[in-house]
């Protein structure tokens, strides 16, 4: 972590000053060669990001997404519907989606000038009072999440992202959008419609079917919007939907995949941790980290135990019927690859590592991850052979590297980067893969390639952004800071720095409390004293343990860590 943002020379100097820094078994020359590899790889990812971004800006902006093969654009996202910019010509149909999605990545890559330019453009041109039918879930994670996160970054005076003055323009946009979401929740159950017209609300004869993620993954963005505006309606609506969904769990504590928002009945009883459900689990844990409400932890705890019990088969996760717990589909889907990253956040490193290895195996076998792989037949699903530049494997690789500092994950990242450049990079940007068996391409560069795929790869090789602050990433990869003002548990003393400190000799060096959370004591020097509002370090410096007594208190949640069966300190729930 320390090496990533510093040159090898600085590293050598630090070693001279603080010999105990060299705690790993790696030799000096190995350490410095890893450090320079990380810098090289970071630069490679930056080049990838700008290749995607510049081509989008040239051929697609201000439309939604780039079509890199034909160097044109698309506004008709099947998942997102269309947003319009009112002042533009009548036939214009875009929302500059990829620009919104790129905001936080621009900040992470240190491009403040482009960030400011983008914010100013959006504040002058983006309007939501348009006759457009949008998907609530997608619009929430991509547009609302992108705006909320960028607002928090822009208004963080310590970051000095703006040359001029920032007047909360993004917050006003976010609030306008949030208000337009509210009619979707006006159902007998409180479960929101999946689709809503931004100008007219819920359309006549609108479908009443939605997904578990569609109802259960709104709380981070809408909760943050309420905290920032002081208007409780967004958080209340998201919370009411989540609670209703929660009440619909089976006696086995499982959930289905699709449901009816008017009746509150399940439609699809089979589910897993992939499509239609994934971010529901993710948001239970992340809402706990962001808001510190004990209830979120309890929900996550119970849901996680059920997932491990009924879906897990060794390193794989199949689907099961929520009523019986019986396995339904033995399939690995590319969306499931986010799960190891989530497991890292609770300290379940061993399980995370073993699943991650299997996903990486499949990646290596095909060059990228096929959308669906049939575990029972050991073959790709005949109609889902595509890879739309998804981020999930890169995301988990980033988390696992944070937790273990095992250079193997750097190699995994390098393989991912090389495959993306080899198979998907073309002159006009990065193209999705239509068929991973032939590597035939498809004319689509999804916005999440810039919001997530490039971002997580960049953070894997250069984590200076998370070192300085404590962020939780939304399901679309937009960072939200963990603030005591929004948090039920964090003490006031957490406010000024939002960081923990490691005392080294006389100088205190800032380290991220996220890194402590995901990486129990591992990045610390043995024998050094760690101070934070509530953090108590683990007894052993190698983040292993024999009993709970060896584990300290987590700095972000102030919760006691316990010792897993595999001997890791973490926010274990068993
Ligand atoms: C992203 O839009 C989000 O991560 C979502 O939760 C599911 N996955 C896609 C990208 O694969």
Structure confidence by residue, pLDDT tens digits, 9-48: 333 322 322 223 333 457 788 888 889 999 999 999 999 9
For 80, 128, 348, 541, 546, the CA distances from 566, given in Å and listed in that order, are 42, 51, 9, 16, 9
Annotation says 278 is catalytic = yes
**Structure letter (DSSP) for residue 282:** H
Take residue 394 and report the two structure tokens written for it.
Answer: 């890169």
Q: Which one is catalytic: 114, 321, 371, 554?
A: 371
| Least confident window among 7-11, 270-274, 324-328, 555-559 | 7-11
d(CA 470, CA 496): 12
How do residues 436-451 score in pLDDT, each as one tens digit?
999 999 999 999 999 9
Q: Is the CB of 32 under 6 A from ligand 1?
A: no
Q: How far is the CA of 61 from the centre of ligand 1 (A)?
A: 22
Q: How far is the CA of 4 from the centre of ligand 1 (A)?
A: 27
Q: Which one is catalytic: 175, 278, 282, 463?
A: 278
Residue 507 has pLDDT above 50, yes or no: no
How do residues 189-227 score in pLDDT, each as one tens digit?
999 999 999 999 999 999 999 999 999 999 999 999 999
Q: If you take atom 11 of ligand 1, which residue's CA is the nearest one?
A: 390
Q: How far is the CA of 98 from the centre of ligand 1 (A)?
A: 14
Q: How many CB atoms lie within 10 A of CB 205?
A: 6
Q: If you take atom 6 of ligand 1, which residue's CA is the nearest one?
A: 475
Q: If you take atom 2 of ligand 1, which residue's CA is the nearest one?
A: 476
Q: How far is the CA of 261 from the centre of ligand 1 (A)?
A: 22
Q: How far is the CA of 34 from the centre of ligand 1 (A)?
A: 30
Annotation says 452 is catalytic = no
Q: 91-95 contacts: CB < 8 A, separation 24 or more?
A: 93/63, 94/62, 94/63, 94/64, 95/62, 95/64, 95/126, 95/143
| Crossing angle for the helix pair 454-461 and 392-404, to the nearest 10 degrees | 20
- Are 48 and 59 in contact, with CB atoms under 8 Å apart? no
For 191, 211, 397, 514, the CA distances from 208, given in Å and listed in that order, are 10, 10, 37, 39
**Structure letter (DSSP) for residue 191:** P
Residue 557 has pLDDT above 80, yes or no: no
For 184, 288, 531, the CA distances from 305, given in Å and listed in that order, are 31, 16, 33
Annotation says 204 is catalytic = no
- Angle among Cα 21, 470, 299 to the nearest 5 degrees reads 120
Q: Is the CB of 448 under 6 A from ligand 1?
A: yes
Closest atom, ligand 1, to C-alpha of 395: 4
Beta strands 507-511 and 500-504 are antiparallel
Q: Is the CB of 279 under 6 A from ligand 1?
A: yes
Ligand 1 pocket test, pick from 138, 219, 274, 279 with the greatest ligand atom count within 8 Å of Cβ, gives: 279
Q: In the structure, what pLDDT confidence band is assigned to residue 505 with cuts at 50, 70 and 90? A: very low
How do residues 40-76 score in pLDDT, each as one tens digit?
999 999 999 999 999 999 999 999 999 999 999 997 5
Q: What's this model's pTM, rounded to 2 decimal places?
A: 0.85
d(CA 479, CA 104): 7
pLDDT at 237: 98
- Are 547 and 569 in contact, with CB atoms under 8 Å apart? no
Ligand 1 pocket test, pick from 219, 335, 399 with the greatest ligand atom count within 8 Å of Cβ, gives: 335
d(CA 67, CA 56): 8
Closest atom, ligand 1, to C-alpha of 390: 11
Q: Is the CB of 446 under 6 A from ligand 1?
A: no
Average pLDDT value for residue range 239-261:
98
Residue 169 has pLDDT above 90, yes or no: yes
Q: How far is the CA of 393 from the centre of ligand 1 (A)?
A: 11
Q: Is the CB of 197 under 6 A from ligand 1?
A: no
d(CA 196, CA 200): 8
Q: Which one is catalytic: 101, 138, 221, 235?
A: 138
Q: How many CA atoms lie within 13 A of 114 on its CB side?
A: 16
Q: How far is the CA of 392 from the centre of ligand 1 (A)?
A: 8
Q: How far is the CA of 124 from the centre of ligand 1 (A)?
A: 28
How do residues 321-330 score in pLDDT, each as one tens digit?
999 999 999 9
Residue 494 has pLDDT above 60, yes or no: no
Q: Which one is catalytic: 75, 221, 319, 392?
A: 392
| Least confident window among 153-157, 198-202, 365-369, 538-542 | 538-542
**Regarding predicted confidence, which is higher, 555 or 422?**
422
Closest atom, ligand 1, to C-alpha of 213: 6
How far the first Cα of the chain sits from its last, in Å, is: 29
Residue 119 has pLDDT above 60, yes or no: yes
Q: In the structure, what pLDDT confidence band is assigned to residue 284 with cuts at 50, 70 and 90? A: very high
Q: Is the CB of 335 under 6 A from ligand 1?
A: yes
**Radius of gyration of the chain from Cα atoms?**
23
User: H helices within 346-500, ranges in order?
Assistant: 349-366, 392-404, 408-419, 448, 454-461, 464-468
Average pLDDT over the chain, rounded to an integer: 84
DSSP line for 287-327: HHHHH--HHHHHHHHHHHHHHHHHTEETTEE--EETTT--B
Q: Is the CB of 475 under 6 A from ligand 1?
A: yes
Assign 140 to helix, strand or coil: helix
Name the percent of the chain lying above pLDDT 90.
63
Q: How far is the CA of 95 from the centre of ligand 1 (A)?
A: 19
- Are 555 and 490 in contact, with CB atoms under 8 Å apart? no
């Amino acid at each position: 972590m320390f090496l990533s943002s510093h040159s090898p020379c600085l590293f050598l100097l630090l070693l001279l000053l603080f010999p105990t820094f060299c705690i790993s078994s790696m030799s000096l020359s190995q350490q410095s060669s890893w450090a320079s590899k990380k810098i090289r790889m970071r630069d490679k990812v930056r080049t990838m990001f700008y290749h995607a971004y510049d081509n989008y800006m040239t051929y697609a902006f201000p439309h939604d997404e780039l079509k890199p093969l034909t160097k044109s654009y698309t506004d008709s996202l099947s998942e997102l519907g269309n947003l319009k910019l009112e002042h533009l010509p009548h036939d214009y149909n875009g929302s500059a989606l990829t620009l919104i999605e790129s905001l936080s990545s621009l900040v992470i890559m240190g491009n403040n000038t482009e960030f400011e330019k983008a914010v100013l453009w959006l504040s002058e041109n983006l309007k939501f009072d348009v006759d457009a039918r949008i998907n609530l879930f997608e619009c929430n994670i991509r547009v609302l999440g992108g705006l909320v996160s960028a607002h928090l970054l822009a208004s963080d005076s310590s970051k000095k992202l703006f040359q001029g003055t920032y007047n909360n323009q993004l917050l006003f946009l976010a609030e306008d959008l949030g208000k337009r979401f509210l009619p979707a929740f006006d159902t007998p159950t409180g479960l929101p419609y999946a689709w809503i017209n931004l100008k007219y609300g819920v359309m006549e004869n609108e479908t009443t079917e939605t997904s578990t993620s569609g109802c259960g993954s709104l709380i981070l963005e809408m909760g943050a919007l309420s905290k920032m505006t002081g208007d409780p309606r967004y958080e209340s609506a998201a919370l009411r939907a989540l609670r209703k969904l929660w009440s619909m769990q089976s006696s086995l504590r499982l959930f289905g995949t699709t449901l009816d928002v008017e009746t509150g009945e399940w439609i699809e009883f089979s589910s897993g941790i992939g499509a239609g459900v994934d971010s529901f689990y993710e948001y239970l844990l992340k809402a706990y980290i962001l808001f510190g409400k004990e209830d979120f932890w309890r929900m996550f705890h119970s849901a996680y135990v059920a997932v491990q019990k009924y879906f897990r088969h060794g390193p794989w996760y199949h689907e099961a019927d929520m009523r019986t717990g019986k396995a339904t589909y033995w399939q690995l889907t590319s969306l499931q690859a986010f799960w190891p990253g989530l497991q890292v956040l609770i300290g379940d490193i061993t399980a995370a590592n073993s699943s991650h290895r299997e996903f990486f195996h499949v990646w290596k076998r095909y060059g990228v991850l096929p959308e669906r792989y049939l575990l029972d037949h050991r073959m790709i699903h005949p109609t889902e052979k595509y890879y739309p530049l998804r981020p999930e494997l890169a995301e988990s690789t980033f988390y696992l590297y944070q937790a273990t500092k095992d250079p193997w994950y750097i190699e995994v990242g390098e393989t991912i980067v090389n495959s993306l450049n080899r198979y998907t990079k073309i002159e006009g940007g990065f193209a999705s893969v239509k068929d991973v068996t032939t590597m035939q391409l498809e004319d689509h560069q999804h916005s999440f390639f810039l919001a997530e795929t490039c971002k997580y790869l960049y953070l894997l090789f250069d984590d200076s952004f998370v070192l300085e602050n404590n962020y939780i990433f939304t399901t679309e990869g937009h960072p939200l800071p963990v603030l005591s003002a929004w948090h039920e548990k964090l003490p006031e003393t957490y406010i000024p720095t939002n960081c923990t400190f490691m005392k080294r000799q006389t100088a205190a060096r800032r380290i991220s409390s996220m890194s402590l959370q995901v990486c129990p004591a591992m990045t610390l020097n043995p024998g050094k004293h760690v101070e934070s509002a509530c953090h108590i370090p683990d007894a052993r410096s190698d983040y292993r343990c024999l009993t709970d007594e060896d584990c300290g208190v987590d700095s972000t949640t102030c919760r006691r860590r316990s010792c897993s069966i595999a001997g890791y300190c973490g926010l274990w729930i068993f």
